[in-house]
Structure 1
Amino acid sequence: MSSEKVQTGTVETSIPARLDRLPWSGWHWLIVIGLGTVWILDGLEVTIVGNVGGRIAEDGSGLALSAGQITGLAASLYVAGACVGALFFGRLTDRFGRKKLFIITLAVYLLATGLTAVSFTPWWFFACRFLTGFGIGGEYAAINSAIDELIPSKHRGRVDLAINGSFWFGAMLGALLSIVALNESLFPGNVGWRLSFGLGVVLGLVILLVRRHVPESPRWLIIHGREDEAEQIVAEIEERVERETGAPLPEPDKSIKIRQRRVIGFGEIASTMVKAYPKRTILGMSLFVGQAFLYNAVTFGYATILIDFFDVPSGHTGYYYAVIAVGNFAGPLLLGPLFDTIGRKPMIAGTYILSGVLLLVTAYLFHAGSLNATTTTACWTVVLFFASTGASSAYLTVSEVFPMETRALAIAFFYAVGTAIGGITGPQLFSRLIETGNPDNVALAFAIGAVLMVAAGVVAIFFGVNAERRSLEDIAKPLTAQDAEDGEDDGRQRPTASRPRPLTA
């Protein structure tokens, strides 16, 4: 339906409450698989580059690149692309809908990573890394906003954390794949690393097939004057859930009045984030800077640390990556339910501070020369068990504490700015520290990431939001709902819309 044909007015709807009161069902698993698996692709991309970087830097790889260029410049270009993509597609997601954009962004990723596999010169490789990040960054905005608007409030915390933590399932796949791809008895040195990137295309195509069946967000449709479509989608979801559970659904307990608008200006969105919610803005920025600096700065160079300081062969770094990937994935999976029970504030602050303190201990042990490849990996596994949970909660936080109309752009903004600070400057700084061959400099790199994580945890103590088990509309009232309450209308007052349909046993 074109926006020009949409007639907007003021409606009262119970659709948010109807979505929140749904029990967990097979339909929700469709959402998790179709949308949440984007993180697997990101984890795959980051880990593949970290593991195959050493092989690409070797003679005969087909590309004249150094290890520093791969872990430094190429990594920074990937993150820069993600930042630009997040902002570009984030604005479009809030304006044109979640579904259109999460199909487009996945297509961009598929094209770019496929072209990376056939790189023939350094500039081509660098350009493709930027475009791959461009698609992945757009995915963050479109996907996280859609997930939060479709998952019931009582499950939102654990689901978000598990999905964001699945980055490390992709990392584990990438690590294990690199072991096979870099085995020169199976593939020539200039072929194996290309096959590693090709796996991303295969996984992306599978995700695209599932994603085609994910609907547009009913919450977004209501605000943009398309309540008939929203009603049809929610009615079909309710019918499917009732059929799966064999029990009638309870009546929704509340409704909300919304003044529909087709377009909400960027200025109003930015003003809402900064002026209406300054503490939440500081919170989101702190969480993103801390986790981005730790992950994008340190993990991009982990394979280089193993090779240069512990003489681990370039073809074996995948084993170590697979181990820390398990710890990273296990953290959000096991600790995620506590974010819905114990609560957001204590869990976010606790995971950030604890991971920072443990990383400082690791930095001290590395500086003292007390670690080898195995014990370093063990330390990182424990650190990242908590750090991964905290990092996942950063995305959860910014996707649920701002009004619905700003959600995708809020995710994009914090991701872009926070990641630009930690993810672009970090690899550049750390690659130089690692290339010095001085253990003191590597320990300094660890310490920088640790201090930023602790600082973010302290901010969460004071500015955190108790969002557990609450409707998105209760955490941050939609701008259009505020309009309706203020009595702003365009003269086309409508009767109450989106009443609950009759339920049958």
Structure 2
Amino acid sequence: MSTAPTPSETSTITTAVPARLDRLPWSRWHWMVVIGLGTVWILDGLEVTVVGNIAGRLSEEGSGLPISSAQVTGIAAALYVAGACSGALFFGWLTDRFGRKKLFIITLAVYLAATALTAVSFETWWFFLFRFFTGFGIGGEYAAINSAIDELIPSTFRGRVDLIINGSFWLGAIGGSLLSIVALDTDLFAPNVGWRLTFALGVVLGLVILLVRRNVPESPRWLFIHGRGEEADSLVTGIEERIEAEHGRQLPPPDREITIHQRKSIGFLTIARTVFSVYPKRTVLGLSLFVGQAFLYNAITFGFGAILTKFYDVSTSRTGYYFAVIAAGNFLGPLLLGKLFDTLGRRIMITSTYLLSGLLLFGTAYLFDRGSLSAVGLTACWSVVLFFASAGASSAYLTVSEIFPMETRAMAIAFFYTVGTAAGGISGPLLFAKLTETGVVADTVLAFQIGAALMCLAGLVAAVLAVRAERRSLEDIATPLSAASAT
């Protein structure tokens, strides 16, 4: 029986859409979703790595820009981080209000335009401006894409898919490292051309992703809550028909329904009250996971080049090779461990990856302090640490995208991403740059120990507060605010 709708509501409906989506077997349609939405993380990794690697070339005579290396790695990097934080919050709010599809198209368009305009930079201020807007688009992607992926992927596969997609950032990092070596070779490209080509390639890859992404539908979960129940039902029916034809068998009937008071919009105060008042323990969990991984990563990746050059006399022209090895370890972690988050479970895997990476970094700090490591040995230790840390860090994004009600999902992702990015991109560099650039062994050891301690602390928080979300419907993990049982 429907209730009389208020101005913010349309009607009350009972739907099996979530159960219908969760019971689907893996199919070509799901691959299309993963490729269309998930591959943008590769672009993010490419962007961040390329800018770090071209800093030296941009500051050279003949680059076409009157800019110093410090301005590239300092001001430009800070503006990219500020843009990412701003974009996550702005587009996260719009994603919950206007839908996933509109926003994951718009945010990619912002990224493409900003990257193309960065490639044609003619003045320093222009380069700074469009680094901000590149970050603005990428930050928006995190909220829109993680929301859509979790709402479209069946619960049986959600953990591993989310982890691998977030871990694909490091494929972009590997590509950025190797691409920079080629693009900055003055025997192949002029000094004022090579660095522009690296940004141009990002545009080309983004356009390919946009072509695939156009075929990814709106989230049916978002549709039925926002007064478009018939459209959600029709969309899921089309997906079911495609999958039945592919697998050659009928799908089993859905095993449950949910009754929803449809709404056109959810107020920001309602979202904030839900996250901080209704789910305070989950908020503490999300903050702990994001801050822990942010500081561990900055303890290693922010100063890795300075450590290699100061302590091991590694040429700056060769640090890219070492970084490619570290990045490979980062990608292999989510790839090989992702399935365990769906089988062994979230709590044991989040806790173990955080604690293992923290303890291994403590061990690395001990060996480094004793002088027992060569440049290759230190890189190998970093790779093992980050193999586990990357799976843990990716699970932080998975966690905050599934433990809050659907109406708050994009904003929750945006909030925790912003906190993590700010901690990693602002507080982390300010602290670790001073420690790793002194050339004093004890200072670098301290940097490692701080990152390791915060990662271990986050692991202990997860051991107590992590939510058992494996193979469970999103609506079971956190009841939607619009659900009849929530009112």
- Name the TM-score, length of structure 2 as normaliser: 0.95
CA contact (8 A) 2:62 2:192 kept: yes
Mapped to 1, the partners of 2:314 and 2:61 lie a distance apart of 18
Are the structure 2 counterparts of residues 296 and 343 from structure 1 closer, same or farther at C-alpha, using a change threshold of 3 Å?
Answer: same
Report the counterpart of residue 246 of structure 1 in structure 2.
Answer: 248
What percentage of residue pairs aligned between the two structures are identical?
71
**Structure 1 stretches of at least 4 aligned residues deviating more than 4 Å after TM superposition:** none
Are the structure 2 counterparts of residues 213 and 84 from structure 1 closer, same or farther at C-alpha, using a change threshold of 3 Å?
Answer: same
In structure 2, the gaps of 5 or more residues are 1-6
Report the counterpart of residue 451 of structure 2 in structure 1.
Answer: 449
CA contact (8 A) 2:397 2:413 kept: yes
CA contact (8 A) 1:356 1:451 kept: yes
Superposed CA offset, 1:306-353 (max 9, x none): 344433333332211211111111100100000011100010011011
Are the structure 2 counterparts of residues 126 and 308 from structure 1 closer, same or farther at C-alpha, using a change threshold of 3 Å?
Answer: farther
Report the counterpart of residue 485 of structure 2 in structure 1.
Answer: 485
How do residues 260-275 of structure 1 correspond to structure 2 at under 5 angstroms?
A: 260-275=262-277
CA contact (8 A) 2:91 2:143 kept: yes
Report the counterpart of residue 193 of structure 1 in structure 2.
Answer: 195
Mapped to 2, the partners of 1:341 and 1:299 lie a distance apart of 31
How do residues 469-484 of structure 1 correspond to structure 2 at under 5 angstroms?
A: 469-481=471-483, 484=484
Are the structure 2 counterparts of residues 207 and 296 from structure 1 closer, same or farther at C-alpha, using a change threshold of 3 Å?
Answer: farther
CA contact (8 A) 1:405 1:479 kept: yes
Report the counterpart of residue 78 of structure 1 in structure 2.
Answer: 80
CA contact (8 A) 2:300 2:382 kept: no
How do residues 319-398 of structure 1 correspond to structure 2 at under 5 angstroms?
A: 319-398=321-400
What secondary structure, in the 3-state scheme, does the structure 1 residue paired with 2:263 have?
coil
Q: Say yes or no: does 1:131 pair with 2:133.
A: yes
CA contact (8 A) 1:22 1:152 kept: yes
Higher relative contact order (CA 8 A, sep 6+): 1
In structure 1, the gaps of 5 or more residues are 489-505
Mapped to 2, the partners of 1:428 and 1:124 lie a distance apart of 25
Mapped to 1, the partners of 2:221 and 2:102 lie a distance apart of 15
Superposed CA offset, 1:409-434 (max 9, x none): 00001111222123222123333333
Report the counterpart of residue 221 of structure 2 in structure 1.
Answer: 219
Mapped to 1, the partners of 2:60 and 2:449 lie a distance apart of 30
What secondary structure, in the 3-state scheme, does the structure 2 residue paired with 1:465 have?
coil
Mapped to 2, the partners of 1:312 and 1:184 lie a distance apart of 21
- Write the letter of the residue equivalent to 2:43: L
CA contact (8 A) 1:51 1:303 kept: no
Report the counterpart of residue 436 of structure 1 in structure 2.
Answer: 438
Structure 1 residue 6 displacement after superposition: 11
Mapped to 2, the partners of 1:44 and 1:440 lie a distance apart of 33
Structure 1 residue 176 displacement after superposition: 1.1
2:233 pairs, out of 210, 225, 231, with: 231
Mapped to 2, the partners of 1:356 and 1:66 lie a distance apart of 35
CA contact (8 A) 1:293 1:419 kept: no
2:38 pairs, out of 24, 36, 39, with: 36
Which sits farther off after the overlay, 232-241 or 437-446? 437-446
RMSD of equivalent CA atoms: 1.9
Superposed CA offset, 1:141-178 (max 9, x none): 00000000000000001111111111111111111111
- Name the TM-score, length of structure 1 as normaliser: 0.91
- Write the letter of the residue equivalent to 1:11: I
CA contact (8 A) 1:345 1:461 kept: yes
Mapped to 2, the partners of 1:446 and 1:264 lie a distance apart of 43
CA contact (8 A) 1:242 1:249 kept: yes
